[in-house]
Amino acid sequence: MSNPTEKIRCDACPVLCYIKDGMTGACDRYANRAGELVRVDPHIVLDRTLAHGGGVVPFGSRSEWDGGLVAEAPRFVTAIGAGTTYPDYKPAPFIISTELDGIDMVTVVTEGIFSYCGVKVKIDTDRHLGSECATVRAQGEPVGHVTTGEYGSQMLSLGGVNHLTHGAKKEGRITCETLLDLCNRKPVTLTIDGGATVVVEAGKPPIVNGVPEERMRVGCGSATIGMFARQWFGKVDEVIVVDDHITGVLSEHQAGKVLGVRETGIRMNGRRSTPGRYFSVAEPGAGWGGTNLTDPLAIIESFDPKRAWPGLTLFMVSTTGEHAAYFELDDELKPIAKPLPSAMADAVERIRENCEPALCTVLFMAGAGGSLRAGVTENPVRLTRSVKDMLTRVTCGGAPVYIWPGGGITLMVDVTRLPEDAFGYVPTPAIVAPIEFTLTLADYATLGGHISEVRPAASLSPRDQQLVGPDETNPWPLDPAPRGTKSL
C-alpha cells in the first residue's frame, strides 16, 4: 500500500490526475483516501441504457437505437460497493425485488469475503515460463505455482487458502495484493522459480522477460505442417517447424507423405514420436518455437548422403512465424543460409496471420458455499440446491459465472466481464468479491429467504448509486436462462 501522505495518480480516465490524500480528482468521482484510490460514489448499478462509446441500447431491444423515446431502462443492482453483513446470519445488505415480464424477481446482493479463492491465469505463449509445479512469486513471496500447460498457453494457479492463510504473514498479504490487482485488471509482475519473469494483466498481452508477446502460435509444429503442407508443396524441398513440444518435419510427416513429398534424408536430433513428429529437439527456452535455440540448424544431426542432394532447399520456421530461415545444401550437403524467397516470406506471413493475439486471461475462482449463504436464506443448503437446480442464477457484479458441478458453490468468472475495480480486500487477508443471487420471489420464499428484508430497487438512494453500462457481451443478469440449461 502506498504512503498516505503521497499524491496518487488516478487512472480512471485519460486525464490521469494526481490526487492528494483527502482530495478528489478533476471529476469529483475518484478520491485519494489514505493513499488508496477510491470511488466516491460507492454502489454500482448496471443501467441497461448505458453503453460504452457507441450506440445507446434501448429497453427491450438489442438493435440500433430507433431515435424514438426510450423508456426508463431496467437496472440491475450489483454487489459492487454493497458491503457485507457480519456475522453472516444477518440478511444480506440488499435484497432487491424487481419485476420482469410480470414475474417478481429477487436479487440478493452482497459482497462476499473469500478466504477460499484464487485465480487461474492463462498466458498465451509458447515460451517456457517455468516447469510444472514451480513456485510463482510476487515481490519474492510464493503466491502460487505453474500448473499443466494448455494448447498454446501456459497456466498458473495463484492464491488459494494455503497461500492466503497458512504461510507467513507477509506471504498472505502479498498473495492477497496479487489476487486483488489481477482481479482488478492491473498489471502484476510474477517471477517463476527456475523460469521467467512475466507481467500479467487481464486482457493484455503477457510480457515475458521484458518482451511483450504478440501472438499465440498457430498450432504445434506438427499441426502447422498439417495446416500448410499443401501451400508449401512444390515451392521448397523440406520444411521444419521448430517447436519445443512437437517439432514437425514435412517430408516425413503424414501430410507430406500424402502429397508425395520426396524423402530428403534429414536426420533430426530429439526423440521421434511418430513419423515427422519429434519431441525434445532442444531445451525449453525463449528462442525458436519455445526452445532455447538461437541457431535452428542445431536440431539437425545430418543429411543422409544416399537420399539428400546438393541444392536441396530447406525452410525452417517457428510456430508463430516469429523466426524463419532458408537454406540450400552445398556439395558437401551442408546447409548454407540464403535470403528468404518470396514464396517462403508469404508462408511466414500466412503463419503470422493465423496466430491469434496473445493475451493473459484471469479467472477468479472462489467458494461461495460457506456462511454467506446464510445472508440469503436461513436454510443454507437449500441455496446450494437451488443454484444446482438452475432456479437461482449467480452473477459476480452482473457478470455470468461458471458453477462447478459437485458439492458447494464453487464459481469461476472472467474478471474482464465485471465493471472496473469490482474487487476489494480485507486485511484478514481475504478477497472481497461481489456476488448476486437472482431467483423468483416464489422460489425465494420456498428456500426460506429473508422475505421481510426484500425491498424494491427504487428504494435505493440515488445518491449512493453509480450507474454503469453493462458489458454488452454479458447476458442481462435478470433475463431468465432457459431452465435446465447451463449458463456461463
Name the residues that contact other proteins, by CB under 8 A: 7, 11-20, 23, 25-28, 47, 49-56, 65-73, 420, 467-469
Axis-axis angle for helices 221-232, 342-353 (nearest 10): 130
CA dihedral 301, 304, 308, 312 (to 10 degrees): 10
Query: Please, are residues 413 and 401 in contact by the beta-carbon 8 Å criterion?
Result: yes
Q: How far is the CB of 55 from other proteins (least distance, A)?
A: 7
In the complex, what is the shortest distance from the CB of residue 73 to other proteins, in angstroms, rounded to a whole number? Answer: 8
Residue carrying the nine cell digits 490487482: 181
Give least dist CB 44 to other proteins, A.
Answer: 12
Nearer to other proteins, 3 or 371 (CB): 3
Question: Least Å distance between CB 68 and other proteins?
Answer: 7
Residue with Cβ nearer other proteins (91 or 398): 398
Q: Which is nearer to other proteins, 53 or 87 (CB)?
A: 53
Looking at this protein, which amino acid is placed at residue 236? V
Shortest approach of other proteins to residue 375 CB, angstroms?
30
We find the least distance from the C-beta atom of residue 359 to other proteins, in angstroms, to be: 17
| Cβ neighbour number for residue 287 with a 10 Å cutoff | 22
143 neighbors 174 (Cβ within 8 angstroms): yes
Nearer to other proteins, 112 or 434 (CB): 434
Q: Which is nearer to other proteins, 65 or 309 (CB)?
A: 65
- Take residue 276 and report the three cell numbers written for it: 515427422
Minimum Å gap between C-beta 463 and other proteins is 14
The position carrying cell 517463476 is 192
Cell of 7: 499524491
Shortest distance, position 193 Cβ to other proteins, whole Å = 34
Exposure b/e, 375-387, CB count within 10 A at least 16 = b: bbbeebebbbebb
Q: Which amino acid, residue 201?
A: E
Cβ partners under 8 Å of residue 416, min gap 6: 185, 202, 203, 361, 362
Which whole-number Å values give the CA distances from 130 to 83, 187, 209, 461, in the listed order? 39, 19, 12, 51
The Cβ of residue 408 has, within 10 Å, a number of other Cβ atoms equal to: 16
Q: Which is nearer to other proteins, 70 or 134 (CB)?
A: 70
**C-beta closer to other proteins: residue 12 or 268:** 12
| Residue 56 C-beta: closest distance to other proteins, Å | 6
State the maximum Cα–Cα separation within the chain, in Å, rounded to a whole number: 91
Q: What is the DSSP letter of 313?
A: E
Helix (H) or strand (E) holding 223, with range, is helix 221-232
Comparing CB distances to other proteins, the nearer of 51 and 259 is: 51
At 318 the three-state DSSP class reads strand
Q: Give the residue with the Cβ less far from other proteins, 40 or 481.
A: 40
Q: Which is nearer to other proteins, 66 or 331 (CB)?
A: 66
Shortest Cβ distance from residue 472 to other proteins (Å)?
11
Measured from the CB atom, is 18 or 151 closer to other proteins?
A: 18
- Are the C-beta atoms of residues 168 and 104 closer than 8 Å to each other? no
**CB of residue 15 vs other proteins: minimum separation in angstroms?**
5
| Alpha-helix runs per DSSP H in 160-200 | 161, 169-183
Measured CA distances, 86 to 72, 90, 227, 371, 423 (Å)? 35, 7, 57, 10, 18
User: Could you identify the residue written with the cell 496479487?
Assistant: 178
